[in-house]
Structure 1
Amino acid sequence: MTATLPPQLARLIRQDVQGMHAYAVQPSAGLVKLDAMENPHRLPANLQQALGARLGAVALNRYPGERVDTLRAALKAYAQVPDGYDLMLGNGSDELISLLAMACDVPGASILAPLPGFVMYGMSAQLQGLKFVGVDLTPDFELDESAMLEAIATHQPSIIYLAYPNNPTANLWDDGVIERIVEAAPGLVVMDEAYQPFASRSYLDRLTRHPHVLLMRTLSKFGLAGVRLGYMVGPAALIAQVDKVRPPYNVSVLNCEAALFALEHADVFHQQAAELRRERALLLDRLDAMPGVRAWRSDANMILVRVPEAARSFEGMKARGVLVKNVSRMHPLLANCLRLTVGTTDENAQMLAALQASL
């Protein structure tokens, strides 16, 4: 239940904010948690001990300093950032999305993105007081090229978000269509590669073709969802301007050191991603053979499925100890759809059994 603000306090809060719904995190205690696209693998015991000792030696009494620059340099090397390009850090991709809206808040500015998509694109626009333009995907969750180009011509958006692959549909869109959208864009285009560890291709090799394109990634899907660290790559002069609105100490010393440690042991996380890609292929085979279920191909660590009755299946799976995401009310195109996170072999077996029993 949401408490009601007394009138003398309610007048202080924006009316549109009072009418919003907060980002909801589902309670998951005691359940197999397959609702949030997290890496299900923890660090091996020896690395847990090594990381614990390293974090214990961090100077918590000091603000983050030069060590953050060390992390930026390590990420630039890891991501193979091109010459003339720079990188800025965020407290997860969510903060970077908010900072972009803040930096681009000029009169008449708007933000455009395909729908269904990541909810923070629209939320960041609303919170910054910018117009948000959503353009529906096709029924098979592909970009509607003509609708996108028409919306771009009509609204002249300052920012266009293209998730690559998309959330919650998990697919990579046609590269030719993407290029035509990029070429038509009057402002910035942000390629959001949050799920890059699981994708079959990246936009990185095309980044330098267009000076108005930014590439955004996160370490959350790499395996550090709890660390909250995102980064954005773009032309150095452009990154320098957006970076001016970033809070000075937005990445903590603990987050910074944990991320550096993870990059030093990137092979462990690459092995985990490879295992999840194998599990994804097995899941898709099993889902394709399940009567009454349609599963879409995935380039992420999630699979979108359509079932006869999403609410019944969601509650049935939860009653059997498995938590997934019911996305059926997010958008009309997602009617009766559930989003399943790819887990471990055992977790996936429990998920499949719970889904089968709930149909």
Structure 2
Amino acid sequence: MTLSSAVIPGLPRIRADVQAMHAYVVQNADGLIKLDAMENPHRLSLELQAELGQRLGAVALNRYPGPRINDLQAALRRHAGVPQDYGLMLGNGSDELISLLSLACAVPPSAANGQQKACVLAPEPGFVMYAMSAQLQGLDYVGVPLTTDFELDVPAMLAAIAQHCPAITYLAYPNNPSANLWDDAAMEAVIAAAGAQGGLVVIDEAYQPFAASSYLDRLTQHPHVLLLRTLSKFGLAGVRLGYLIGPQALIAQLDKARPPYNVSVLNAEAALFALEHEAVFTAQALDVVAQRALLLEALAQLPGVQVFPSEANMILLRVPDAQKTFDGMKARGVLIKNVSKMHSLLNHCLRLTVGTAPENRQMLAALETSL
């Protein structure tokens, strides 16, 4: 039986826009080869699993997170090469940091001084959490379509920045779901325009372990730019740990919006363990990049399939019938992501996560049969 809102206690108190939203959907992957969520397909060796288990078993679960969080911050600074005078803020995944950025910048409109409602701006199609976090925190959201080949539309971006004066402009590098790196000159034009309006720019480098380029070396050139990263694609999607790098003064202000103890002792210890074995995860990333090259070559040979360049651990492709192909692959035991309804530019598009060599062979066979 479905209850109406009139008989669900408390429902009228929940914001109408929240009730109208669609929840973030995680596909059921039981019994399937899971190639839908850009996860690192490699697990730790049995030896490292046992070593990690001993470490986690010794953690003081009865205590709130303490000095080990400082140890984790120091380890991440070394791992990422954070500039010496820059700050680092931890989040429960990069999703939490995106929400905290919106929260910190959610200035309501004021009739007294003519101040507009704060807004978030991002190219589209892009990561859905930029828009969702903006809406949940009461900011406006402005999406600017990419070009047909998924590049930044610089004139459109500059016009939108001039019109809306965004508090935050997101540039995913590489982008999700298109998996490409933006042109350097295009990025610099957008960064400069956002800065001239007094806004922040967040370079989201979630897929940096697989990319040929990073913005880190240019970060100090722009005091209004923040760099967002995560350990999810590094190989710790289940640990939920993201971090934000930026000028110390900016990070200090944003950190005020962070809940205390937002990173658990287990998350911190697991992340420290992984960073101590960084070479293992680097080798895994190199394998993913090698497998990506093989997949791109194989996919390009399939008739009727358009394959887009990738600098991430995912590949975007256009097929004659996305839903038919998705259903056929799922029936053959392979779960991918049908993104064809996310944006008009993604018409007939599917997104594949790069898996292990055996997984990729099965995926290719299922794809070819399902086209």
Query: Same fold judged by TM-score > 0.5?
Result: yes
1:123 corresponds to 2:116: no
Partner Cα distance (1:109, 1:293) in 2: 41
Separation of aligned partners in 2, 1:83 and 1:51? 30
2:269 to 253, 257, 271: 257
What aligned pairs does 1:115-194 form with structure 2 within 5 A after superposition? 115-185=124-194, 186=197, 187-194=199-206
Q: 1:65 aligns to what?
A: 66
Establish whether residue 272 from structure 1 lines up as the match of residue 275 from structure 2: no
Give the structure 1 partner of residue 80 of structure 2.
Answer: 79
Give 3-state SS (helix, strand or coil) of 1:237's partner. helix
The C-alpha deviation readout for 1:308-329, integer Å capped at 9, x for no partner, is 0000000000000000000000
Matched residue, 1:321 = 333
Closer/same/farther in 2, CA of residues 192 and 3 from structure 1, 3 Å limit: farther
Structure 1, unpaired ranges of 5+: none
| SS of alignment partner, residue 351 of structure 1 | helix
Residues of 2 paired with 1:21 and 1:109: CA distance?
23
**What SS does the aligned partner of 2:285 have?**
helix
| Cα displacement (A) at 1:3 | 6.2
- Give me the whole-angstrom Cα distance separating, in 1, the residues matched to 2:226 and 2:107: 19
**3-state DSSP of counterpart to 2:143:** strand
3-state SS, counterpart of residue 217 of structure 2: helix
Q: What SS does structure 2 have at the residue aligned with 1:282?
A: helix
What is the distance in 2 between the residues matched to 1:204 and 1:118? Answer: 20
The RMSD of aligned alpha carbons is: 1.0
Distance 1:255 1:243 in 2: 19
- Looking at structure 1, the residues matched to 4 and 147 of structure 2 have their Cα atoms a distance apart, in angstroms, of 40
How many correspondences in the alignment? 359
What is the 5 A alignment of 1:40-119? 40-107=41-108, 108-119=117-128
**SS of 1:74 mapped into structure 2:** helix
Of 103-112 and 218-227, more deviation after overlay is shown by 103-112
Instruction: Give the deviation of 1:9 after TM superposition.
Output: 2.0
Q: Which residue of 1 aligns with 2:22?
A: 21
Which secondary structure does the structure 2 equivalent of 1:11 belong to?
Answer: helix
CA positional deviation for 1:2: 7.8
Residue 8 of structure 1 deviates from its aligned partner by 3.9
Q: Is 1:217 matched up with 2:218?
A: no
**Which of 205, 215, 219 is 1:207 aligned to?**
219
Question: Given the alignment of the two structures, is residue 287 of structure 1 paired with residue 338 of structure 2, yes or no?
Answer: no
Per the alignment, do residues 96 and 355 of structure 1 end up closer, same or farther by CA in structure 2, a change over 3 Å counting?
A: same
Corresponding letter in the other structure for 2:231? L
Gaps in structure 2 of 5+ consecutive residues: 109-116
% identical aligned pairs = 69
In 2, the alpha carbon distance for the partners of 1:88 and 1:109 equals: 23
317, 334, 339: which is aligned to 2:351? 339
Task: Tell me, in whole angstroms, the C-alpha distance in 2 between the residues paired with 1:305 and 1:82.
Answer: 37
Q: Please state whether the residue corresponding to 1:132 is helix, strand or coil.
A: strand
Please state whether the residue corresponding to 2:73 is helix, strand or coil. helix
Q: For 1:94, what is the secondary structure of its paired residue?
A: helix
SS in 1 for 2:10: helix
CA distance in 1, matches of 2:3, 2:34: 29
CA distance in 2: counterparts of 1:203 and 1:77, whole angstroms: 17
Moved segments of 4+, more than 3 Å: 1-5
Letter in 2 for 1:306: R
* Secondary structure, counterpart of 1:106 in structure 2: coil
Quote the Cα distance in structure 1 between the aligned partners of 2:166 and 2:8: 37
1:343 match: secondary structure? coil
Q: What is the CA-CA distance between 1:112 and the residue it aligns to?
A: 0.1
Q: 1:59 to 1:27 in 2, by over 3 A?
A: same
* Aligned-partner Cα distance in 2 for 1:306–1:152: 31
What amino acid does structure 2 have at the position aligned with 1:59?
A: A
